[in-house]
Chain A
Amino acid sequence: DAGITQSPRYKITETGRQVTLMCHQTWSHSYMFWYRQDLGHGLRLIYYSAAADITDKGEVPDGYVVSRSKTENFPLTLESATRSQTSVYFCASKSYNEQFFGPGTRLTVL
């Protein structure tokens, strides 16, 4: 399937556990992004990547780690999950000015 996919779609974890959210795109877009969506805050940028092996912090990077060894994949890792990281996470890729979003991962940290 063409497009951008995220897995898992839903995840429940416990405080202190490591969690990795996966993102895969089939277009070979150079830029990819991770956002979190929380009520009243809109979409906030966590990390972004300009190309394979090039990543940079966004607005709210604390507690998150990213990697990008291949153009098509951009995983996001919560090294030690906290309750404040309960959120909906969206991955996106960019073509020219338009960002294409995945379906999101709803993460609950107990």
Chain B
Amino acid sequence: QQQVKQSPQSLIVQKGGISIINCAYENTAFDYFPWYQQFPGKGPALLIAIRPDVSEKKEGRFTISFNKSAKQFSLHIMDSQPGDSATYFCAASSPETSGSRLTFGEGTQLTVNP
């Protein structure tokens, strides 16, 4: 059962544009929502994360928007650059599960054209 749904599967953006990736979850016990970035041939790496007590978190050009009532969260990449081209995964975890293990979305392949 896929508990975190991610869209779109792929995204093409022009340099300088805004990239938006969306995720929806079902489990209301989730209390930690990270985004991971993966470059080709590499393992995923933590990009930014949010907890449901805030509606937005910004780190540089990357912003997470969180809507608890809708059970949705999204990643916004402002002023997208070719170096941002990567696969992005949203994820969620619950303190009720052993190790607060992560449930990942399906991934979004982002291409930023120069």
Q: Residues of A at under 8 Å CB distance from B?
A: 31, 33, 35, 40-45, 48, 50, 56, 58, 90, 92, 94, 97-104
Contacting residue for A94 out of B6, B42, B99, B105, CB 8 A: B99
A106 closest partner in B (C-beta): B41
Bin chain B's interface residue count.
20 to 34
Contacting residue for A101 out of B32, B44, B105, CB 8 A: B44
Q: How many A-B residue pairs have C-beta atoms within 8 angstroms? Tell me.
A: 53
Q: Residues of B at under 8 Å CB distance from A?
A: 6, 9, 32, 34, 41-46, 49, 89, 93, 98-102, 104-107
**In the complex, A90→B36 CA distance in Å?**
14
> Are A42 and B43 in contact, CB atoms less than 8 angstroms apart?
no
Can you name 30 A-B residue pairings with CB atoms under 8 Å?
A: A31-B99, A33-B99, A33-B101, A35-B104, A40-B106, A41-B106, A42-B6, A42-B89, A42-B104, A42-B105, A42-B106, A42-B107, A43-B89, A43-B107, A45-B101, A45-B102, A48-B98, A48-B99, A48-B101, A50-B99, A56-B98, A90-B43, A92-B43, A94-B99, A97-B34, A98-B46, A98-B49, A101-B43, A104-B41, A104-B42
